[in-house]
Amino acid sequence: MYIRGDHAELVVGGRLDVRSAADARTVLHSAVDDGVGDLVLDLSALDSWDATGLGVIMGAHRRAGRCGRRLVLRGVPPQMQRLLVATRLHRILAIEGGIGVESLPRV
């Protein structure tokens, strides 16, 4: 997993899972705490995430809200969009361009 960017936009790539969760949490919390306005997470280079990785995203979302900021997801891959819909988190998280639920392939 890698995260590149600044306090306004971060690109997350690789795997966001139990092995990378602690590092990702540290980087995301620093970005939230040190910036202002929306924090955009570009997930287009993300290969996969597990429940722990999703928990890191939700934790950053909550922290951003407490800091008066908004976490915005950009470039969410289709398989991860399906997970957000299945868990109904697409209703809570800000997703750039939204998720076209009806256009997602059925599994």
Who has greater pLDDT, 9 or 98?
9
Q: Which of 92, 93, 33, 89 is nearest to 63 (CA)?
A: 33
Instruction: Check residue 1 and give its pLDDT.
Output: 82
Condensed to tens digits (0 to 9), the pLDDT of residues 11-65 reads 999 999 999 999 999 999 999 999 999 999 999 999 999 999 999 999 999 999 9
**Residue 70 near residue 38 (C-beta atoms within 8 A):** yes
Q: For residue 50, what are its two tokens?
A: 């597990």
71 pLDDT more than 90: yes
User: So what's the pLDDT on residue 98?
Assistant: 80
